A and B are shown apart, each in its own frame.
Chain A
Amino acid sequence: MKKIYILWLRQIKRYLRSRSRIVGSLAQPILFLLALGYGFGSVFQQAGQGNYVEFLAPGIIGMGIIFTAIFTGIEIIWDRQFGFLKEMMVAPVSRLSIMFGRTLGGATIAVMQGIIVLALSLFLGFHPYAWAGISLAIGVMFLIALLFTALGTMITSLLDDMQGFQLIMNFLVMPLFFLSGALFPLKGLPPALAIIARLDPLSYGIDALRILLINVGFYGLGTDILVLTAVTAVFLWLGSYFFKKIQI
């Protein structure tokens, strides 16, 4: 336990020390919220869908989380290239603990990032319908964060270097985000897109956030939590399976 804690603590310390990274990774969600939220606001309103900033904010929180989560998962490549992974791998610690410590650390960072986006969005015109939903929403954020950090870890265990990084961004993270219903309502989608959105775990995460924060949902909170938990469990299992196979 103590070993998992120190692995977690290391991630948190690194995060808190890289202020430029925190600020940098906030710029994109804020830009999306402002440009899309206000840019499409009147069109969305005229279509009878209500306030777009309110609708968009949970999606942007999800965006902040998925980017940070996958990114911290992928950071293992850096640890690998810069030797610190070796220091962990020669230590008498089970591979499973290393993977869990790292994943928990990464997920915590991603949640912090999500909370910062949420706090900032309050200043940019977002009004959650009930404050009580926020603590539950933070729980959902943690599930989303855990899911995608585990996914990042899993991918990283299969990669040798950073060459694949752009590939992951363009063919995995971007589609996961854009096809998730973060930016548009899931109701009334063309069938093909509706199916794709159903296969995207982020859809359920953002749907759950919307239910808790603005009381608008599509799949239903029970389904959302169930799917998120199941997929997280599978990714954690796969992540530790692949992580165990790493030889340096």
Chain B
Amino acid sequence: MNNIIEVRNLTKKFDHSNAVDDVSFSVAEGEIFAFLGPNGAGKSTAIRMLTTLLHPTSGTMAINGLDPVQKPDAVRRMFGIVFQDPSLDDELTAWENMEFHGILYDIPNPLRRDRMKQLLEFVELWDRKDDLVKEFSGGMKRRLEIARGLLHHPKIIFLDEPTLGLDPQTRNGMWMYLKELNKNENTTIFFTTHYMEEAERIAQRIAIIDHGKIIASGTSEELKRQTATASLEEAFLKLTGKTIRDESVGSAEHMRTARRMWRR
């Protein structure tokens, strides 16, 4: 099978640590692949490099045969992404957020409008399309982000902890859409998560990443067999240890407070 993502010896050094340390893996076209790891393990950093937001310190990557560093725009057209934090413009309506995306990705009209309608119906937001995003709940925002990420018909969709803070209904609905998409369009799905049952239920293959390194990979059955454990959660804890990780708190939290004050 054709590998749509190929990563060889990928390394990203920050000031004094390796966020991603000599990582190699590949994802086949049409596969559902999960990155599993504790906080600060390097999951998001790896995704940021694959999606052209960050340059690697060393190593090579290929998305559908193209290097994100050399051919960023061609690679950008190939994937859709749902970030860990919301990335919608709150002051615009759902429709305007979609329109903005469609124009940035050169989708001509009337194709753009047709797809926007189709996708907004797909994530059940069509009747709210003219409402400002700031009035949306967390789940609605996530659904809108998924619809937006699919607007340009990407071959791969990256989801960075997409279900964080969502209720079980929304989570379930979201995965239903994505699995349908995977089946019908053969879209490759690459996601990171903290939820073991989610990885176990959804992903066809899992890589466990810790301290910037991939420490195990395979199907959830294989991982359980390797560690001689009964559940993926036990396998995960056995592999990564039981120490609690603290992610360094960025300035984002301060900013949120500051912005609220500015807005009033």
Contacts and interface: CB of A to CB of B under 8 A. Distances in A.
Interface of A: 2-3, 6, 10, 13-14, 17-18, 20, 77-78, 81-84, 86-94, 160-163, 165, 247-248
Q: Tell me if A's interface is mostly helix, strand, loop or mixed.
A: helix
16 contacts: A13-B92, A14-B89, A77-B255, A78-B259, A81-B255, A81-B259, A83-B83, A83-B86, A83-B87, A84-B87, A87-B89, A91-B105, A92-B104, A92-B106, A161-B254, A248-B48
Contacts of A2: 103
B73 A84 contact: no
Contacts of A91: 76, 101, 104-105
B251 A87 contact: no
Contacts of A86: 53, 83, 87
Contacts of B92: 10, 13-14
Contacts of A87: 83, 87-89, 101, 148
A89 B103 contact: no
Q: Nearest 3 pairs between A and B by C-beta?
A: A83-B87, A161-B251, A91-B104
A90 B259 contact: no
A247 B100 CA distance: 22
Interface residues of B, number: 41
A201 to B, nearest CB: 26
B103 A92 contact: no
Contacts of A14: 89, 91-92
Interface of B: 48, 51-55, 72-74, 76-77, 79, 81, 83, 85-92, 96, 99-101, 103-106, 132, 148, 250-252, 254-256, 258-259, 264
Nearest to A247: B54
Contacts of B106: 92
Contacts of B103: 2-3, 6
A83 B254 CA distance: 15
Contacts, number: 94
Given A13-B96, A247-B54, A90 B76 contact: yes
B89 A10 contact: yes
A248 B51 CA distance: 11
Contacts of B81: 90
B104 A3 contact: yes
A247 B55 contact: yes
B87 A93 contact: no
A90 B51 contact: yes
Contacts of A20: 264
B54 A84 contact: no
Contacts of B85: 82-83
Given A6-B103, A90-B51, A84 B89 contact: yes
Most buried by A among B54, B72, B81, B100: B100
A247 B92 CA distance: 25
Nearest to B79: A90
A88 B74 CA distance: 15
B100 A10 contact: yes
Given A82-B86, A83-B87, A247 B251 contact: no
Q: Which of B55, B148, B258 has the most CB of A within 10 A?
A: B258
A19 to B, nearest CB: 12
B104 A88 contact: yes
Nearest to A94: B73
